[in-house]
Amino acid sequence: MEMLEILSTNTTFFAFVATAIGLAIGSFLNVVIYRLPKMLQADWRQQCLEFLEQKDDQAEKQERFDLNFPGSHCPHCQQSIPFYRNIPIVSYLLQKGRCANCDAKISVRYPLVELLTAILTLAVALKFGFDWLALAAMLLTWVLIALALIDYDTQLLPDNMTLPMVWLGLLLSLFPIFVDSTSSIAGAVLGYMLLWSVYHLFKLITGKEGMGFGDFKLLAMLGAWLGWTMVPLIILLSSFAGAFIGIMLMIFKGHNKEKPIPFGPYLAIAGWLALMFGENIMQYYLGYSV
């Protein structure tokens, strides 16, 4: 109880704790981003084999692989990484971005994800303060980071992340945390149906699929959390983000314009901006338009 009182009264200490938690969560998100798609692919393969009534010849050779096992290890030499060499950001800097065992280079993305998660968690803590609202906003932030990077890597938005978050957003609306139940339900329906309609209209006109079904569920998730009034804003912000980043990729990285770019990261960026600044943006826009 004393610790809770300190956290609620000392903004600096709360910000420090939130940042430390963000670093630790960022380290875990690296595991989720890398392992969850592989776990899903293995599960889909197993389901296909069962449906075809075929035996899995590799079953006996496969080792357990999930979010808990195996423990952190170097992908090059497979050496386990002890906890004192697995401290977010610090270990990467001390080891100069290399494995302490085999000296292989470690991707800079790992500490960047940890840093990003810490910064966004700190921003949420400073905006909402020591409150249930902050805890919910942090959870949404962490899920959006994971979804954005999974979609960027694999063009997948896992149902086992988006759908539970849709239901959680609807559940939180009963209290309400961000919005009331009416706005939450309408937001989930509007979010899904908007992109569903765009998908089918685009397919009807071009004969091509412009986005995946995971995008529908992600926008439904954001609608359930933030309410129907934020859905148009999220669409607008994600379109701006997609256009800007897409142009930058083509200019600086020579990205082939024919190669599809996943829309999930832009929805995630827009959703987080709506979470943090949505009301201010709406007020500014309404005031400007009047």
What would the pLDDT profile of 57-102 be if each residue is shown by its tens digit?
Answer: 666 566 777 788 877 877 778 778 887 778 888 888 888 888 878 8
Average pLDDT over residues 144-172: 95
- Return the minimum-mean-pLDDT range out of 3-12, 120-129, 141-150, 164-173: 3-12
Neighbours of 200 (CB within 10 A): 12
Structure tokens at 79: 């050496």
- Cis peptide bond N-terminal to 176, omega within 30: yes
The span from the first CA to the last CA of the chain, in angstroms, equals: 49
Higher pLDDT, 56 or 165: 165
C-alpha distances in Å from residue 131, one per residue of 1, 11, 144: 15, 12, 20
- Cis peptide bond N-terminal to 70, omega within 30: yes
pLDDT of amino acid 277: 94
Residues 6+ apart with CB under 8 A from 116: 26, 145
Per-residue pLDDT band at 1 (split at 50, 70, 90): low
pLDDT at 263 over 60: yes
Domain spans of the chain, in order of start: 1-130, 132-290
Helical spans, DSSP H, in 52-158: 90-94, 109-128, 132-154
Q: Is the whole model's pTM more than 0.85, yes or no?
A: yes
